[in-house]
Copies of this chain bind each other. A is one copy, B any other.
Amino acid sequence: MAVVVTNTVRTPLELVDQLGQYGVATIHEAQGRTGLLAARLRPIYRPVRVAGNALTCEVAPGDNWSIHVAVEQAQPGDLLVVTPTSPCDDGYFGELLATSVRAHGVRGLVIDAGVRDVAELTAMAFPVWSKVICAQGTVKETPGNVQVPIVCAGAYVRPGDVIVADDDGVVVVAHDDVERVIAASQAREENEEGKRARLAAGELGLDIYSMREKLRERGLRYEESSPR
């Protein structure tokens, strides 16, 4: 009793790519420190950055059948997001599946499980964020849901939400928030630009951010070192 939802909404690629200009840390801050996937998801090579529409996929433990099902639902600019229904480290995805999804315009993979053929995937420049690298193969016996809302690595992801992933990890931005987050990311970057120059010149954050008074109120005090 698994379901594939078709004709799901997608975020226009123009917006996806605008959002993809910003790093994961910036976007996470810009949307109010939400949307991060767990830090256990790491890229198989660095540096790397990609943005895409979430193409969601649930898999049974040790069973990658629904990834094959998901390929048919792919559209250019999608980013495959795979979560197992219970924790599993098996290598659900390798070079052949990457070849297949790339042929359908998929830009990369985020998976809260294992991946294999990482030398080949790296040579192909196919970006993957996974929990583990593991050669263990999977079966095709139990279909899973495709293009339904999922929880992946602790984050709630719906089809057509935008995923941005880079060296720092993976963030999801809800479909309806993309424009707002692009604007906020841009504002944050501009704000940081000015700060960066002052900090590089040796000015202290204590002064730039006017922290001294608040620190004193919160009980910070200074004392001379006593002889050791």
Chain A contacts to B: CB under 8 angstroms: 1-9, 23-25, 28-29, 32-34, 36, 38-39, 42, 46-47, 49, 60-63, 65, 68-69, 71-72, 85-91, 94-97, 99-100, 102-104, 114, 116-119, 122, 132-137, 139-143, 147, 149, 151, 154-156, 158-160, 166-169, 171, 175, 192, 195-196, 199-202, 204-206, 209, 211, 215, 218-225, 228
* Nearest-neighbor residue (CB-CB) of A138 within chain B: B61
Q: Are B168 and A42 closer than 8 Å at their CB atoms?
A: no
| Contact flag A99-B199 (CB < 8 Å), given A61-B61, A143-B215 | yes
Q: How many copies does the complex hold?
A: 6
Q: Are A96 and B218 closer than 8 Å at their CB atoms?
A: no
Contact of A88 among B32, B88, B199 (CB under 8 A): B88
Residues in B whose Cβ lies below 8 Å from that of A34:
85
Residues in B whose Cβ lies below 8 Å from that of A97:
205
Closest Cβ–Cβ distance, residue A198 to chain B (whole Å): 9
| Contact flag A211-B25 (CB < 8 Å), given A36-B135, A167-B118, A223-B5 | no
